[in-house]
């Protein structure tokens, strides 16, 4: 029998509670000190690990401190600093284009609305939601590959398109939890719910998960206490 909206929301709230206990040091994985640094870091994170981005950004942020610095930068020099993040030519072009628009349209400050952020080169809904949620405390549901995989595995969506997944999840997850929910799912995807061999035996939300698409038989390593959603 299909799970109702009310049942799904109840299950989600239980997962959020349990995952918050599992990952108490919740927050953005990308090191940044201000909205501009976060915007640049998220642009760099496309097709690149957060760990690699964090190795590049100290030198980058030391060299370029303001939108004006990026806007007036020598493009080849900027490319060299970010080369190891991959797709560095497009990323450098987008960073500089975004910086110039920030200067021209927003007085040198990173904008604070979805519509305005989406007007910046290289910024899609995921990037905008990360910036909104982590730089401005505006709830944002950032959907990346971990979010796509986990929410399908949890049978909370059957969509593969990030925009459609965002639309469904923002109905299911309370608005105040949007940013944290993204962090929790992404962290859980990296730490436990791997793509090929998820560590179901030690999963904190095992009894709330239908394990859709997981073919390996479950062989518990530890005793998992039943969790009744409340």
Q: Which residue has the tokens 């062989």?
A: 219
198 Cβ contact list (under 8 Å, min separation 6): 153, 192, 211, 214, 216
Contact 36, 67 (CB under 8 A): yes
Contact 14, 208 (CB under 8 A): yes
77 Cβ contact list (under 8 Å, min separation 6): none
133 Cβ contact list (under 8 Å, min separation 6): 139, 140, 142, 178, 179, 182
Choose the catalytic residue: 54, 144, 155, 177: 144
Answer whether residue 230 shows pLDDT above 90. Answer: no
pLDDT of 11 reads 97
For residue 180, how many other CB atoms are within 10 A of its CB?
Answer: 19
Choose the catalytic residue: 126, 176, 180, 197: 126
All domains of the chain in start order, with CATH = 5-26+142-208 (1.10.1670.10), 35-135 (1.10.340.30)
pLDDT digits (tens, 9 = 90+) for 51-106: 999 999 999 999 999 999 999 999 999 999 999 999 999 999 999 999 999 999 99
Tokens of 215: 């073919």
164 is catalytic: no
Contact 174, 142 (CB under 8 A): no
126 is catalytic: yes
Answer whether residue 220 shows pLDDT above 50. Answer: no
Q: How far apart are CA 191 and CA 187, in angstroms?
A: 6
């Amino acid at each position: 029998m299909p799970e109702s909206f009310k049942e799904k929301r109840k299950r989600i709230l239980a997962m959020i509670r349990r995952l918050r206990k599992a990952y108490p040091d919740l927050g953005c994985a990308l090191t940044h000190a201000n909205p501009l640094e976060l915007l640049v870091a998220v642009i760099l994170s496309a097709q690149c690990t957060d760990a690699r981005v964090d190795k590049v950004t100290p030198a980058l942020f030391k060299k370029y401190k303001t939108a004006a610095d990026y806007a007036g930068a020598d493009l080849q020099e900027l490319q060299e600093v970010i080369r190891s993040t991959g797709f560095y030519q497009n990323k450098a072009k987008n960073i500089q284009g975004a910086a110039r628009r920030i200067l021209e349209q927003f007085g040198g400050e990173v904008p604070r609305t979805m519509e305005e952020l989406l007007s910046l080169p290289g910024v899609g809904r995921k990037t905008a939601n990360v910036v909104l949620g982590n730089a401005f405390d505006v709830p944002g549901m950032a959907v990346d590959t971990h979010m796509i995989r986990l929410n399908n595995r949890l049978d909370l969506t059957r969509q593969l398109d990030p925009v459609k997944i965002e639309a469904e999840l923002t109905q299911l997850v309370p608005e105040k939890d949007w940013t944290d929910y993204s962090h929790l799912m992404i962290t859980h995807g990296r730490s436990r719910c791997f793509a090929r061999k998820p560590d179901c035996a030690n999963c904190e939300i095992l009894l709330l998960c239908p394990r859709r698409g997981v073919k390996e038989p479950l062989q518990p390593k530890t005793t998992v206490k039943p969790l009744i959603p409340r």
